[in-house]
Structure 1
Amino acid sequence: MSKSIATLRKKVISQGRMSLYLDFYPPLWDEKSNCYTRREFLKIYVYIKPADQYQKMANIENMHTAELIRARRQNEINKMEVYSAFEKEQLKIQAVGRESFLHYYKRLGEKKEGNNFSIWNSAIAHFEVFLKGKDLLFQDVTVTLIEDFREYLLKAYSLRNTKKRLSRNTALSYYNKIKTTLKRAYREDKLKTDINSKISSIKEMESQRNFMTLEETKRLFATPCTNLLVRKISMFSVLTGMRYVDIAKLTWSEIQYIDNDGYYIIFRQKKTEGAESMPISEEAFQLLGKRKGEKELVFKGLRKCDIDKTVPVWVALSGIRKHITFHCFRHTYATLQITAGTDIFTVSKMLGHRNVKTTQVYAKVIDQKKRDAANRISLE
């Protein structure tokens, strides 16, 4: 593209005036709007037909001021033409550095959905508290700053319940959101240093994963449930290990049959966004009912509030004395698979875990059960 020429032009507006603006040809790249532009309005005006000496003098002064601005812009354009590639790159880096990292972080959060959206919002809210209401530019993002935020999270209290400290795993979840943002900013050249690779992590604390034994599971499903749809999807979760969010959005187009192989669910996990191809048993398929339109929900009419109300009462009526939530059916699936002899890698794939370490906690639960059983026999 050839060198741009800045020309002073006039545009008729209201009240017998003309607005002065610069016309660039070819267009100039505008870093603020992130696109090419032909015009820069100067917010300077002249009268079309000056009514008195005052307006005539105002026209002369305003035209002079506008011409000075035009000359300055032209000099800037000319100087850009003689900048070396290195100088241009440095100018670009400086311009990016003056952009708001905080606004960038918020924009990423706005793209999330469902529960993930809420978690990102909470993470961002804590980051704003850490910044004490100030903005943060890309040029001010450092390893030390992010490490300080890590320490803040490990000692922070919940913003909803100011008497309760964040659990380590909640702090880890919030910290991972800023790490994700740092990684993306580095990939997009908004950060010239891979800060994410230089900062310390927060070690995950193994959480208690409540589950039911096979005997308890059979007892639960033998107990009458006041909501048949809740019973159906609970059984489906135990038989497949699927999360509620994935069951709730399941459509008939994702239920497929492969000759000489059986039924599969082809879907994308809501939490990890990973594409999954998961075989399901004939028993699980029978729970789906009569096939309908490809875009229709399999479990139509499902509401999370119905599950939250029904499951605790249903579990209590079955005589199970454990704190069982709907998500515990996924834990039950994993522990029953491992107990039945399914290897940890297969279970990991069936659950859609990205890392087998996430699945190993279930193996530890089973090992503890074996240890408890071994200790029950004593000859002393």
Structure 2
Amino acid sequence: MLLQNAIEKFRFHCKYEKNLNSKTLRAYDIDINQFLERFINYEIKKINKYDLKDWVEALYVNDYKVKTIKRKIAVLKAFFNYLEFDDLIDLNPFRKLKLSLKEPKLLPKTLELQEIKKILKYLYTLKNEYRYKNSCSYKLLVRDIVSIEILFSTGIRVSELSNLKLDAINIKTGIIKIFGKGSKERIIQICDQEVLSLIKEYSKLFGIEKDIEGYFLLNRLNKKFSEQSIRLMIQKYQNKIGLNKHVTPHMFRHSFATLLLEEGVDVRYIQNMLGHASISTTQIYTKVNMKHQRKLLRTKHPRKTFNFSI
């Protein structure tokens, strides 16, 4: 069997047997097609560990990040595991291949509280000074503020925000059901009255209460406000206020976790709010909790017992 025929079977397996979502399927396609381009006319049974080594080496040569290479390898492993399980190959070549890729541990990039305040102050000032409250541009401005407020208030992922459905948010109480990674659902509540009032205003402006089947955040064509559009929207306001930092939606998620830690919230509560499967994923935020670190060093470091003043 040729590699491209085996890949078609794998696609069917991922879509109809594993029931992977469309975003994951697209990601799988990108990685598996890249492998296919290199071994286009190969018989699937003839691919061996040396071919896989050459492929990994080519990824390094093309300056892919270690995280990206690990992801591509994981997809390919899943592919060959499927082939072996379905008896399309006798032996998975990954079984005889030892790879040890060390990914540099980078701390999450966050926004300072004052930077978030600066962004929101600019947006609310624009909103309050707007003359034409019935205009399309005003509606979109309110939607932009709602998007950023929800990102910061809940720590939601940009994909979860973009795909948030109307029936998943209770506009009166602020309770949001988030459908996250791994098809896991979690509930989080917006408690700030100013944010809740803004959400209600947004709902009236877009008339979304009439259609409970659609998406909560809409673009000017009343279609889903896409992930990329949210990213570009944030970059637009970052440039408007001259913030000397590349701001992404995920930075609001990181800031949400870090700032709650600084206020003494237990890391396990934060884990549940972020939807992390493992506590170890959440614990990385303890490393950027500078407020707590300063407090510990100021009060506990033995140097404070020294006194050399004359």
TM-score by length of 2: 0.69
Deviation above 6 Å: which 4+ runs of structure 1? 377-380
Alpha carbons 1:238, 1:333 under 8 Å: kept: yes
Alpha carbons 2:152, 2:256 under 8 Å: kept: yes
CA drift of 1:343 comes to 3.0
Q: 1:180 to 1:311 in 2, by over 3 A?
A: same
CA drift of 1:233 comes to 0.7
CA drift of 1:218 comes to 2.2
Alpha carbons 1:119, 1:174 under 8 Å: kept: no
What letter matches 1:282 in structure 2?
Answer: C
CA drift of 1:297 comes to 1.4
3-state SS in 2 of match to 1:273: helix
Based on CA coordinates, which of the two structures has the bigger radius of gyration?
Answer: 1
Structure 2 CA distance, aligned partners of 1:201 and 1:102? Answer: 28
What letter matches 2:115 in structure 1?
Answer: E
Q: 1:252 to 1:145 in 2, by over 3 A?
A: same
What letter matches 1:353 in structure 2?
Answer: H
Select the structure with the greater relative contact order (CA < 8 A; seq sep ≥ 6): 2
1:229 to 2:143 alignment: yes
Q: 2:113 pairs with 214, 222, 243, which one? A: 214
Structure 2 CA distance, aligned partners of 1:187 and 1:217? Answer: 50
Q: Which residue of 2 aligns with 1:105?
A: 7
Q: Please give the residue correspondences for 1:9-20 in structure 2 after superposition, counting only pairs within 5 Å.
A: none
Q: Which residue of 2 aligns with 1:330?
A: 253
What letter matches 1:134 in structure 2?
Answer: N
Structure 2 CA distance, aligned partners of 1:198 and 1:354? Answer: 30
What letter matches 1:127 in structure 2?
Answer: F
CA drift of 1:304 comes to 4.5
Q: 1:332 to 1:254 in 2, by over 3 A?
A: same
Q: 1:128 to 1:254 in 2, by over 3 A?
A: same
3-state SS in 2 of match to 1:277: strand
Q: 1:324 to 1:100 in 2, by over 3 A?
A: same
Structure 2 CA distance, aligned partners of 1:246 and 1:220? Answer: 22
Q: Which residue of 1 aligns with 2:156?
A: 242
Deviations 1:68-99 (A, max 9, x none): xxxxxxxxxxxxxxxxxxxxxxxxxxxxxxx3
Q: 1:148 to 1:306 in 2, by over 3 A?
A: closer
Deviations 1:297-319 (A, max 9, x none): 11122245543443224224445
1:169 to 2:78 alignment: no
1:253 to 2:167 alignment: yes
Q: 1:265 pairs with 176, 185, 202, which one? A: 176
Q: Which residue of 2 aligns with 1:202?
A: 101
Q: Is the helix fraction higher in 1 or 2?
A: 2
Alpha carbons 2:164, 2:217 under 8 Å: kept: yes
Q: Please give the residue correspondences for 1:335-354 in structure 2 after superposition, counting only pairs within 5 Å.
A: 335-354=258-277
What letter matches 1:361 in structure 2?
Answer: I
CA drift of 1:178 comes to 0.9
1:153 to 2:62 alignment: no
Q: Which residue of 2 aligns with 1:128?
A: 36
Q: 1:119 pairs with 18, 27, 44, which one? A: 27
What letter matches 1:104 in structure 2?
Answer: A
3-state SS in 2 of match to 1:353: coil
Q: Which residue of 2 aligns with 1:29?
A: none
Q: Which runs of 5+ in 1 are unaligned?
A: 1-98, 158-164
CA drift of 1:280 comes to 1.7
Instruction: Give the number of aligned pairs.
Output: 265
Q: Please give the residue correspondences for 1:272-311 in structure 2 after superposition, counting only pairs within 5 Å.
A: 272-283=181-192, 287-289=198-200, 290=203, 291-301=209-219, 302-304=225-227, 306-311=229-234
Q: Which residue of 1 aligns with 2:136?
A: none
Alpha carbons 1:230, 1:306 under 8 Å: kept: no
Q: Percent identity?
A: 19
Q: Is the strand fraction higher in 1 or 2?
A: 1
Deviations 1:321-353 (A, max 9, x none): 322122221222222222222333332332222
Q: Which residue of 2 aligns with 1:360?
A: 283
Structure 2 CA distance, aligned partners of 1:121 and 1:372? Answer: 48
Structure 1 CA distance, aligned partners of 2:90 and 2:170? Answer: 46
What letter matches 2:120 in structure 1?
Answer: F
Alpha carbons 2:107, 2:288 under 8 Å: kept: no
